[in-house]
Amino acid sequence: MSRKLGWFLAGGLLVALLLAGVVSNFASSSPDGLDATAREGCTFNAEGEITGGHCIAQEEGEHQMSDSPLADYGIRGVGNSFLSTFLAGTAGVLITFGVGAGLFWMARRRDKSEA
């Protein structure tokens, strides 16, 4: 691997870690486009529970992975929400980078002298 490619990958990994670990803590808690569309036609109380009307959101169920350690963009058992989101984002980036690096390593072209 060339020196420039190594620095490029290290810089990209650092940027991804900063975005996932730090900047993600400042994301809006308002519903995104899909959630907002699914909630159209219903009325909600102060806690965000449906109180009337008819909308797609009334049909939603619990996610199959809702009891997993990394559910809801955090780590279960960590009391500090900033730290929980930071750790979950960092873990996600590192796991994704590791899997990607492993796949590229397995699929790389090898010189005929290595084979």
The token pair at 98 is 């590791």
Of 24, 114, 105, nearest to 72 (Cα)?
24
Q: What is the pLDDT of residue 115?
A: 53
- pLDDT tens-digit map of 23-80: 988 888 777 888 889 999 999 998 888 999 999 988 888 888 888 888 888 888 899 9
pLDDT bin (cut points 50, 70, 90) of residue 84 is very high
Separation of alpha carbons 46 and 64, rounded Å: 27
Instruction: Tell me the pLDDT band of 98, cut-offs 50, 70 and 90.
Output: very high
Backbone angles phi, psi at 51, to 5 degrees: -110, -15
